[in-house]
Amino acid sequence: MPRLTVWYLRAAFVHLALGATFGALMLTAKAAPSWGWAWAWFPAHIELMAYGWLMQFALGIAFWALPRYLQPPKRGDERPAWAAWALINLGVALLAYGPALGLAWVRAAGGVAEALAVLLFAIYVWPRIKPLGV
Amino acid sequence: MPRLVRWYVKAAFVWLALALLLKAVALFPAAASLPAITPVSWHLLFVGWLTQLIFGIAHWMLPTRPGASKDKLRGSEPLMWGAFICLNLGLLLRVAAEPMQVAQPGPLWAGLLMVSAWLQWLAALGFVFNSWARVRPPVRRGQRGA
């Protein structure tokens, strides 16, 4: 497994653990109204689970498993995929924790970071979506 | 495909079918007012189907632990069985308790909903704990497990 996939997957695991924690707190709040404060973490739960966990896990596996080039470097210039990793995690963090900390303005910045990340990753991965041995 | 992985994948398909069935039911005007139908159906899809499928396939496909004995190559099998039980029991309790807690709030449904919440949390943490060391760069020859 390439080093970048290790970073994607371990970051995805961290987001899964945190997102599941916020989810459990909110479900508890449905049973115990005194836990209503947990609802402040609703945007964080969505962000962490959908993008931090599911999307990031899929991108990490794609980097590892998609067909490689015949000539080294076998996975091409990895720098856009590394930049995408940094931007995804910056974006997820801004979108997840910004509102709860009273920093609503950072949501737009987080959205831009995530969109740029996916664009960079798509540009990086596009030529690797090809038949094997070509 | 190991037996545990087959359980994960088959359970994922059961939840997928139930999620789409619930979605279809919710589209009938008479069912639109069923309590908690939206959060329940979303979680059947994202927890029961997607997350469970990932847990199962990842347990099967991630690199094995270098230097581990044959029965520990994929980490702790009992831990992953525990995560499987927690995830599915937690989701099942949610399907029953969340609509009932909305329709007829009471200590029984509230208690079951709390148990459901933390069972699913345990499942996620169990998977992360077991998989963390298996997400790793390649090891040199001679360091692989037996």
pLDDT (tens digit, 9 = 90+) per residue, A118-134?
999 999 999 999 999 88
Q: Are A21 and B114 within 8 A, CB to CB?
A: no
Q: How far is A108 from chain B (nearest CA, A)?
A: 25
Which of B101, B128, B137 is nearest residue A30 as measured by Cβ atoms? B101
Which chain B residues are within 8 Å of A31, Cβ to Cβ?
A: 97, 101, 109-111, 113-114, 117
Structural domain includes residue B28: yes
Structural domain includes residue B146: no
Structural domain includes residue B140: no
Structural domain includes residue B128: yes
Number of domains in chain B: 1
Read off the pLDDT of each residue in A60-83 and give the average, rounded to a whole number. Answer: 97
- Look at residue B137 and give its three-state secondary structure: coil
CA-to-CA distance for B75 and B82, rounded, in angstroms? 13
Q: Are A49 and B125 within 8 A, CB to CB?
A: no
Q: Are B117 and A27 within 8 A, CB to CB?
A: yes
Q: Are A117 and A52 in contact (CB under 8 A)?
A: no
The answer, for B42 touching chain A at a CB cutoff of 8 Å, is no
Its pTM stands at 0.94
Give the per-residue pLDDT at B56: 98
Q: Are A31 and B50 within 8 A, CB to CB?
A: no
Q: Are B118 and A24 within 8 A, CB to CB?
A: yes
Q: Are A84 and A61 in contact (CB under 8 A)?
A: no
Residue B45 CB coordination number (10 Å): 18
Q: How far is A133 from chain B (nearest CA, A)?
A: 22
The answer, for B50 touching chain A at a CB cutoff of 8 Å, is yes
- Complex prediction ipTM: 0.93
Inter-chain Cβ pairs, chain A and chain B, closer than 8 A: 71
Give the per-residue pLDDT at A101: 72
Does A32 score more than 80 pLDDT? yes
Which chain B residues are within 8 Å of A22, Cβ to Cβ?
A: none
CA nearest B117 in A: which residue? A24
Read off the pLDDT of each residue in A46-66 and give the average, rounded to a whole number. Answer: 98
CA-to-CA distance for B18 and B46, rounded, in angstroms? 12
Which of A13, A23, A24 is nearest residue B132 as measured by Cβ atoms? A13
Q: What contacts B58, CB < 8 A, 6 or more positions away?
A: B127, B131
Mean pLDDT (10-residue bins), chain B, 146 residues:
97 98 91 88 97 98 92 96 98 97 96 98 98 90 53
Dihedral of CA atoms A86, A91, A97, A102 in degrees, nearest 10, equals 130
Structural domain includes residue B145: no
Which residue range forms the structural domain that includes residue B102?
3-134
Q: Are A54 and B135 within 8 A, CB to CB?
A: no
Give the per-residue pLDDT at B145: 46
Q: Are B128 and A13 in contact (CB under 8 A)?
A: yes
Give the per-residue pLDDT at A133: 86
Instruction: Convert the pLDDT of each residue in A95-111 to its tens digit.
Output: 999 876 777 678 899 99
The answer, for B6 touching chain A at a CB cutoff of 8 Å, is no
